[in-house]
Amino acid sequence: MVGFVAAQLTFVVRAYWAPHREFGYQMFPEASTWQADIVRVTHDGARVPITERWSGYEWNELVGGRGLASPWRRHHADAGLDGQLAFLDAALTWVAANTPNDRETRYLEATVTAWHNLDPPSVLTMRTPDRSVP
Amino acid sequence: MTSRERFDELLARPVSMRSIGLLRLLLGVITAVHLWPIVLDGWRGDTFHDRFHEPYLAWLASLPAGLYVGALTAALAGAVLTAIGLWSRPATWIAWAGVALHLAVSTTHLHNNRAYLVTVLGLVALAPNDRSFAMDAVRRRRRGGDVDRTAPAWPLWLLRFTCATVYLASGISKLLDPDWFGGTVTWARVTAHRADLDASPLPSAVVDLVLERAVHTVAAKVVVATEIVIGVGLWWRPARRFVIPVAIAFHVMIELSADVQLFSYLAVAVLVVWADPDLALPERRATPRAGAGAISAAA
């Protein structure tokens, strides 16, 4: 009983710094929005937007849920900006690691514009580790 | 009696399990509605395996799709059995395991309403939930067996604690966030949907009011106060008859204004754990209500 109560309170407190705020019950936390221009950087240095299909893949088929579809459009970060950007970062890594037919991409890079509520926008860059392509 | 002994006595005191029985029934329906589209997608071959996912436990990502869909199908069947109260306790555990599995395979599956569902479902699975509003109880009576409708109070207290925590956690997080408490968050969300509002059948005066910044400065504080009053007021028995209708109205407003999956239905369902023991719910009684007096003291 005491363990359950302690665990639940721990999750509630932890949600103030955990990006996904699991079991923190912070409803409708932000009005923040975000938009990302994502490119594939190939081994010859070309920067190809992921708005184009590549090697039989399409971003929206690989990454559907949690507001990650069509990242080139501005979206509401409905569970908070930190969580949304953590999802995007993890999604980039997953796509880089799970597109075996793609033999030309060296890494993926996202230039993200984030608006925390009504604050001025901030811009950050995410990139995946170099892919090991056979 | 020491305070420790009084605390232990409070947790072990026999109370009626009727509210937990009713909650089990409602949770079974909610869980089935939650799992149905996920299972349906699974049968069509659409599982998390083919899309971006981020498991909480890495080994879960290697779970074969067939096994995963089979487990969720079993959980769906468990949810149906949970609702009708047939083999209630194992069925509730199976339903809980399926909901937990779906959450554990990817961070992208977790939402507040699902976190609440898996917590409440687990607590109801721990409780003797087969004594009221259950086919199990009917079958036991038909066989001439005695149905004890009481059990130690601790699962009920844990459910109440969880319920109150959800309102308090939400309210306090908004209270501590200057953007939320000041009305910036709701105003920014509403203005982002200005085109939808303009196209809606709402009178222009109402649209203007909804878009007015000063309204949100006040409304945000009302929202925060409502959540905190619910979270605190539920613990005070005389206040419950006012707080519970407020909570229900609050969830109706949320349901009408936002997409929160099954949260509204779940939150209203869980409120039954605060029901007064003398609440007149229709139920056949084959045995005297041995626990009726006990729950009055505990509730």
What ipTM score was computed for the predicted complex, to two decimals?
0.93
Contacts of A27 in chain B (CB under 8 A): 112, 170, 260
Amino acid at B281: L
How many Å from the N-terminal Cα to the C-terminal Cα in chain A? 54
For residues A21-42, average pLDDT: 95
**Would the CA dihedral through B243, B246, B248, B250 be positive or negative?**
negative
Contacts of A25 in chain B (CB under 8 A): 112, 115-116, 165-166, 169-170, 173
Is A24's CB within 8 Å of B116's CB? no
Which residue's entry shows tokens 């109260």? Answer: B85
Amino acid at B117: L
Residues of chain B with pLDDT under 50: 278, 280-281, 283-299
Report the pLDDT value the prediction gives residue B277, as an integer from 0 to 100: 55
The residue with greater pLDDT, B296 or A42, is: A42
pLDDT, tens digit, 9 for 90 and up, residues B35-60 = 999 999 999 999 999 899 999 988 88
Report the pLDDT value the prediction gives residue B145, as an integer from 0 to 100: 80
Instruction: List, in sequence order, every residue forming a beta bridge with A125; answer none if it has no partner.
Output: A111
Helix (H) or strand (E) holding B204: helix B204-211
Q: How open is the CA angle B133-B137-B142, to the nearest 5 degrees? A: 130
Determine the distance from the C-alpha atom of residue B254 to the mean position of all C-alpha atoms in its chain, rounded to a whole number.
Answer: 15
- Structure token pair of residue A26: 């912070």
Q: Is the pLDDT of residue A36 over 90?
A: yes
pLDDT, tens digit, 9 for 90 and up, residues B105-120 = 999 999 999 999 999 9
Q: Cα dist. A59→A49, A68, B116 in Å?
A: 10, 9, 31
Amino acid at B237: R
- Structure token pair of residue A1: 């009983």
Half-sphere exposure of B232 (CA within 13 A, CB side): 8
Distance (Å, whole) CA B216 – CA B32: 37
Is A94's CB within 8 Å of B180's CB? no
Q: How confident is the model at residue A127 (pLDDT cuts 50, 70, 90)?
A: very high
Cβ-proximal residues to A60 (8 Å cutoff; 6+ apart), any chain: A69, A70
Is A29's CB within 8 Å of B52's CB? no
**Would the CA dihedral through B48, B54, B57, B59 be positive or negative?**
positive
Instruction: List, in sequence order, every residue forming a beta bridge with A38; answer none if it has no partner.
Output: A110
Distance (Å, whole) CA B210 – CA B197: 9
Interface test with A, best of B51, B168, B255 (most A CBs within 10 A): B51
| B57 phi, psi to nearest 5 deg | -120, 120
Q: How confident is the model at residue A69 (pLDDT cuts 50, 70, 90)?
A: very high
Report the pLDDT value the prediction gives residue B290, as an integer from 0 to 100: 41
For residues A98-119, average pLDDT: 96
Report the pLDDT value the prediction gives residue B146, as an integer from 0 to 100: 80
Tell me the nearest-neighbour CA distance from B76 into chain A, angstroms: 22
Which residue's entry shows tokens 């409602």? Answer: B26
Is B162's CB within 8 Å of A33's CB? no
**From the list B11, B179, B260, which residue is nearest A117 (CB)?**
B179
Contacts 24+ apart (CB under 8 A), B7-14: B10/B153, B10/B157, B10/B298, B11/A1, B11/B152, B11/B153, B11/B154, B11/B157, B12/B152, B12/B153, B12/B154, B13/B152, B13/B153, B13/B294, B13/B297, B13/B298, B14/B150, B14/B151, B14/B152, B14/B153, B14/B290, B14/B291, B14/B294
Its pTM stands at: 0.91
The residue with greater pLDDT, B7 or A47, is: A47
Q: Provide the angle, in degrees to the nearest 10, between the axes of the packed helices B263-270 and B18-43.
A: 160
Report the pLDDT value the prediction gives residue A121, as an integer from 0 to 100: 97
